[in-house]
Amino acid sequence: MEDERTGSALGAFLRSRRARLTPRDVGLPDTGRHRRVPGLRREELAQLAGVSVAYLTRLEQGRGPNVSAEVLDAIARALRLTANEHAHLRRLARNRPYAGAGVSAGLGADGTSDTFGTGVRDALRQLLDAMETVPAYVTGPFLDLLAWNPMATAVFGDWSRLPPRERNIARLVFLSPGHRRLFTDLGTLAADTVGALRLDAGCFPDHPRLTGLVADLSAASPEFRVLWARHDVKEQSHGTRRLRHPVAGDLVLAFESFRLADDSDQCLTTFHTPPDAPDVLRVLAPGPASRPANGQRDDAAWDGSGEGVPSGDRRG
């Protein structure tokens, strides 16, 4: 993943944002129909941001000095970045290499999530279990699945049956046929997933977990390659997902995602039925007998492959 080294990632991001704008978009005269590059030229961005072309060139190549917040703010305004994109630009410009700290919770020695609930506080796992009618899960760095409750199993499949390496939202979205078949808004889900990974890339652009994940997804999924090349960043803290469940049928679920105050690398995501949608989640709610003390299902649970049905089906 050559362009994910810190300097190159910053340059690739700036070039992608320049490419989506035209001179007319930013109030500059269009100098002609035949432009060698799509979007804004480097000199046009330098003019808008009030920096020299040479300075901007060094910045895009990762060769410049530590860039000031004021310059980054000027570039963000010139490129009309969103709040998420602005924050991403700042993270990339900080040039923070992987130091092996702060992103290992819930990961085994080989860098994969190895055990259900590892790295998740006991109180948080208890909260998951207490959400008896609310599908919920905790993700860690790079969208690794660290913990989930029985209701999440009933809706999304039994992730405990997957090899540890595959317990990752991005791998499920792009590489798991069963998981992909669940969603009728797969295009939106895929774009949101890549946008979230891009945020992690801004924080740790050369982390081996991220580079390995992106390499695997790029090799196996043309859809991922196209989305990754766009350099779009997105933190989807709330929204709606549409599913076609093999037991409950069509589902419309609203979701809320919360960064944990004591560990910003972990995120709690919950799902519920919006007031204007049919509440069919109760069809999938597991009974008390199906919830052993360790939070795992002891009956035949749906594994997300599309074969069979979730164990939450209690309709006889």
- Here the CATH number for the domain that contains residue 47 is 1.10.260.40
Least reliable range by pLDDT among 165-169, 234-238, 245-249: 234-238
Split at pLDDT 50, 70, 90, the class of 33 is low
Instruction: Indicate whether 106 belongs to any domain.
Output: no
Instruction: Indicate whether 280 belongs to any domain.
Output: yes
> Which tops the pLDDT comparison, 208 or 225?
225
- The CATH number linked to 202 is 3.30.450.180
What pLDDT is recorded for position 314? Answer: 28
Instruction: Indicate whether 228 belongs to any domain.
Output: yes
Domains in the chain, number: 2
What pLDDT is recorded for position 18? Answer: 86
Instruction: Indicate whether 297 belongs to any domain.
Output: no
Judge if 251 and 164 occupy the same domain.
yes
The pLDDT of residue 108 is above 70? no
Instruction: Indicate whether 194 belongs to any domain.
Output: yes
What pLDDT is recorded for position 59? Answer: 81
Tens-digit pLDDT profile for residues 264-306: 688 999 999 998 877 888 888 776 534 433 334 333 345 544 4
Supply the DSSP string of the chain, one letter for each residue. Answer: -GGGSHHHHHHHHHHHHHHT--GGGGTPPP--S--SSSS--HHHHHHHHT--HHHHHHHHTT-S-PPPHHHHHHHHHHHT--HHHHHHHHHHHHT----S-SS-TT--TTSS--STTTTS-HHHHHHHHH-TTS-EEEE-GGGBEEEE-HHHHHHH--GGGS-GGG-BHHHHHHH-HHHHHHBS-HHHHHHHHHHHHHHHHHH-TT-HHHHHHHHHHHHH-HHHHHHHHTT------EEEEEEEETTTEEEEEEEEEEEETTEEEEEEEEEE--TTS---GGGTPPPGGG--TTS---S----SSSSS--TT----
Average pLDDT, whole number, for the chain? Answer: 78
Instruction: Indicate whether 17 belongs to any domain.
Output: yes
Q: How far apart are CA 268 and CA 270, in angstroms?
A: 7
Judge if 280 and 220 occupy the same domain.
yes
Judge if 172 and 217 occupy the same domain.
yes
Instruction: Indicate whether 312 belongs to any domain.
Output: no
Instruction: Indicate whether 224 belongs to any domain.
Output: yes
Judge if 278 and 170 occupy the same domain.
yes
Judge if 135 and 237 occupy the same domain.
yes
Tens-digit pLDDT profile for residues 159-199: 999 999 899 999 999 999 999 999 999 999 999 999 999 88
What pLDDT is recorded for position 35? Answer: 63
Q: Which of 28-42, 100-114, 273-287 has the highest mean pLDDT?
A: 273-287
Half-sphere exposure (Cβ direction) of 82: Cα atoms closer than 13 Å = 8
Strand partners, 148: 137
Does pTM top 0.75 for this prediction?
Answer: no
Q: Which domain holds residue 214?
A: 122-290
